[in-house]
Structure 1
Amino acid sequence: MNTIAQIFIALAGVFHLAVFALESLLFKKPSTYKRFLIRTEADAEIVRPWAFNQGFYNLFLALGALGGLIFGGDEGHAIALFAAACMAGAGLVLIASDRRMARSAALQAGPPIIGLILAAVL
């Protein structure tokens, strides 16, 4: 895999680490849960178990992308590309499910999509 593609996949991994922190570690903060369009503390408490679990999905995707790049070789790159494809797919599902999440979906799906395209064409 070329270096430019690796950079975009690494950016996607770092982004997903940040989202893990928001969803699993910092979700109780109003400034955090409001980023997810949750308005009240009561509503945040209801969805907190979901957010905690979702955060770990993002952690595992990040570990796949970053770990695959670190491991290297064909096997490592295959893992990184698979993680990137999952990230891209999740971002597309996010925008399809709620247009208000367009910015978040672009942040989630943009770098892995760019990385996948660059890995395929360069």
Structure 2
Amino acid sequence: MFTVALIFAGLSALVHVYIFVLESLLWTAPATRKSFGTTETQAAATKEMAFNQGFYNLFLALVAGAGIWAVATGNEGVGSALLFAGCGSMVLAGLVLLISSPSKAKAAVIQLSMPLIAVVLAAVAVFAQ
């Protein structure tokens, strides 16, 4: 079960790396503006904020990735803690998006569903020991 949790954590990390690319590197690109529902003017005005926000997503992905790596190298306690921190934060960020912007419910569900599965499966695996 813990292996499946790690797979979901890895998928969650990949989604958050993708969000980083959109927000920090491609924010003003037409396809990104369409995805986020912003105009060219809005994207230009919020480019600095999006750049910063993208790095938050990257850091969450790195924490989850470090957890996966730690477990893979035999440090299950450290890896579990990092997985809970990274994926738990992803879930909470998704909930904040859902609550603060109900019109972005689809994006919020995408952002929080896989890390939630990872957290639940990891918790079951850890507490079942």
Query: 1:16: which partner in 2?
Result: 16
Q: How far does residue 97 in structure 1 lie from its aligned partner after superposition? A: 0.9
Measured in 2, the distance between the counterparts of 1:35 and 1:97 equals 18
Deviations 1:24-64 (A, max 9, x none): 111110110221121x2111111111100000000000000
Measured in 2, the distance between the counterparts of 1:56 and 1:120 equals 27
Q: How far does residue 121 in structure 1 lie from its aligned partner after superposition? A: 1.6
Larger-gyration structure (1/2): 2
Q: How far does residue 11 in structure 1 lie from its aligned partner after superposition? A: 0.7
Query: 2:114: which partner in 1?
Result: 111
Determine if contact 2:95/2:108 at 8 Å carries over to the other structure. Answer: yes
Q: How far does residue 84 in structure 1 lie from its aligned partner after superposition? A: 0.4
Measured in 2, the distance between the counterparts of 1:63 and 1:41 equals 30
User: Number of aligned pairs?
Assistant: 121
Query: 2:102: which partner in 1?
Result: 99
Query: 2:83: which partner in 1?
Result: 80
Q: CA RMSD in A?
A: 1.2
Query: 2:33: which partner in 1?
Result: 33
Q: How far does residue 71 in structure 1 lie from its aligned partner after superposition? A: 2.0
Gaps of 5+ in 1: none
Q: Which moved more, 1:56-65 or 1:71-80?
A: 71-80
Measured in 1, the distance between the counterparts of 2:3 and 2:22 equals 29
**Is 1:3 aligned to residue 6 of structure 2?**
no
Query: 1:42: which partner in 2?
Result: 41
Deviations 1:42-94 (A, max 9, x none): 11111111100000000000000011111222112211211100000000010
Please give the TM-score of this superposition, normalised by the length of structure 1.
0.94
Determine if contact 2:80/2:122 at 8 Å carries over to the other structure. Answer: no
Please give the TM-score of this superposition, normalised by the length of structure 2.
0.89
Q: How far does residue 98 in structure 1 lie from its aligned partner after superposition? A: 1.1
